[in-house]
Structure 1
Amino acid sequence: MSARHCQVTGRKPGFGKQVSHSHRRTSRRWLPNTQRRRYWLPSEGRYVVLNVSTKGIKTIDRRGIESVVADLRARGEKV
Structure 2
Amino acid sequence: MQRCEITGKGITFGNQISHSHRVTGRIWRPNLQTTKIVINGVVVKVKVCTKTLKSLKAANEVEVMQILKANADNLSPRLQKVLSK
For residues 1-79 of structure 1, the aligned pairs below 5 Å read 2=1, 4-39=2-37, 41=38, 43-44=40-41, 46-65=42-61, 66-67=64-65, 70-71=68-69, 74-75=72-73, 77-79=77-79
Structure 1 gaps of 5+ residues are none
Answer 1 or 2: which has greater helix percent. 2
In the TM superposition, residue 11 of structure 1 has moved relative to its aligned partner by: 1.3
Q: Deviations over 1:3-51 (max 9, x none)?
A: x211222211211001112211110011111112123x2743x420111
Q: Residues 13 and 27 of structure 2 are in contact (CA less than 8 Å); yes or no, is this contact kept in structure 1? A: yes
Q: CA RMSD in A?
A: 2.7
CA distance in 2, matches of 1:68, 1:18: 38
Structure 2 gaps of 5+ residues are 80-85
CA distance in 1, matches of 2:67, 2:52: 12
TM-score by length of 1: 0.69
Q: Residues 6 and 68 of structure 2 are in contact (CA less than 8 Å); yes or no, is this contact kept in structure 1? A: no
What secondary structure is seen at the aligned counterpart in 1 of 2:54? helix
CA distance change for structure 1 residues 78 and 25 in 2, over 3 Å: closer, same or farther? same
Between the two proteins, the alignment pairs up a number of residues equal to 75
